Every structure is written in C-alpha cells, then in structure tokens.
Amino acid sequence: TEEMMIRSEKMSIAGQLAAGIAHEIRNPLTSIKGFLQLLQAGVNRKDVYYKIMIDEIEKMETITSEMLFVSKPLTENKQQESLLTMLQDVLELLKPQAKLKNVLLEINGEEQDIFCDKSQMKQVFINIIKNAIEAMEEAGKIVITIREVDNDIFIDISDEGPGIDEAVIHKLGEPFFTTKQQGTGLGLMITKQLLDRHRAKLEILQNEIKGSTFRIIFPKH
Ligand code: ADP
Ligand code: MG
C-alpha cells in the first residue's frame, strides 16, 4: 500500500542517515585515537596534535548539536509558544559564535505565539541562524523579522553572506550536501523534516543587495 511505501522510504532515509552519521563520527574518532597514541609514545609537536584533535572533536560536536532535539519524535509536545522567547533563547546560545565573527543578531517585529514543539522549533532556528553566521565573511548583521501575512506567520532570517549559487540551491537540504570544509550537510535536512512535522514551509530567497533570506512560513492554525 501507499502507506507502506512511505514507511519503507522513511526507513531507508533513516538507514542512509545512520550510516552517514556513523561515518562522520568514526573518522574523527579514528584520527583522535591515532594522535593520542602518538602522544602516548612521547612525540614532539604536541601543539599540532592537540589542535587537530580539538578540530575533530568540534566536528563531532557540530553533528550532535544539529541532531540534539531530533531523536525523539514520539515525545512530541506541541503547545502555544512565544516566538520571541524561543528566538531569544536561541540567540543567547549562538551569541559567542556571532561575537567571534563580529556579527550582530537583531530581532524585529511583533510578538506572536505559534503552536509547536518548542525543542524542535528551537533546533530549526539554531540550524538556520548557525548557517547564517557561518555564511558571513565579514562583520555585519543578521536580521530576524517576524510578521503576520494572511493566515501565516513569516519568520525571515536574513544574512549578509555571499548568497547561494543558483546551481546548488535545489540541493540544499539533501543529506550530506555541504560546501563547507567542516560541514556535515545535515542541518537543513533536519530543519526541513522538523518543519514538515509542523506543516510549515521553508523558502530560500536571494537578497537584493547582499546575502540570502531563509523564510519559515508557519501556519496560524
Ligand atoms: P552544513 O552547514 O553542514 O554545510 P547545512 O545543511 O546546514 O549543512 O547547509 C548546507 C549548505 O547550504 C551549506 O554548506 C551552504 O553551502 C548552504 N547554505 C546554508 N545556509 C546558507 C546561507 N545562509 N548562506 C549561504 N549558503 C548557505
Ligand atoms: Mg549547517
């Protein structure tokens, strides 16, 4: 039946994902183990080895932070939540990373409640705003705008990065598609899945002057 088809398709995506993540985590682990063995043997150049190990651990941190709230769809808990509060929580979390790059984070617009699972929507905001910060090549501003449009709430997250190449725009959200050296290519895929669970949509727009805007369209009812 159609439902079975959909289920088996989901299984294969989950399987693909698990294999990919295992791979993403096994590589850094193997390299950390190797460097620890070298250190144990008493090599010189310790500073270099420490740096590589920290980089590898950061990569695993990224993967786990992108998946933090995804593992428990069964415990989904949807209720009316304040958008402003969720966004402020997320900005607090991302502030250190933004500060390092001299990026200001700003929220504009009206207070709105949305009916959602708070953890999942925070994960969505983390993944999109993290990308926005990573896209910024120099100091600048990321502006988040909340507004009501007909029966939807638009949440625009706008950066001043290089924007997105027309040729790859349709690949965003495919598992493991990344243009970054340290990327996982999982953030937007997870984001899209979480938005699906809320019947919300993601639009990606090119800004007129510079950068791109990720627009979440969230239904009011
Ligand atoms: P990752 O961040 O690990 O690369 P994502 O799924 O979060 O994986 O993003 C996939 C790709 O989408 C990125 O590698 C980047 O090329 C592109 N992208 C996402 N957000 C932006 C943005 N704000 N500006 C430019 N490119 C972006
Ligand atoms: Mg990302």
Measured at the CA of 191, the angle between CA 4 and CA 159, to 5 degrees, comes to 155
211 CA → ligand 2 middle, Å: 16
Rounded alpha-carbon distances, angstroms, from residue 116 to 73, 76, 111, 149, 195: 13, 9, 15, 18, 10
- Name the pLDDT band for 64 (thresholds 50, 70, 90): confident
Ligand 1 atom with the smallest distance to the CA of 211 is: 24
Query: Quick one: which ligand is closest to 172's CA?
Result: 1
Cα dihedral 61, 175, 133, 120 in deg (nearest 10): -70
Nearest CA to ligand 1 atom 26: 164
pLDDT tens, residue by residue, 17-48: 676 777 778 888 999 999 999 999 998 889 99
| Residues paired with residue 172 on neighbouring β-strands, in sequence order | none
Say what the pTM is.
0.79
Report the pLDDT value the prediction gives residue 216, as an integer from 0 to 100.
98
For residues 66 and 190, the answer to whether their CB atoms sit within 8 Å is yes
Query: Quick one: which ligand is closest to 158's CA?
Result: 1
59 lines ligand 1 (CB under 6 A): no
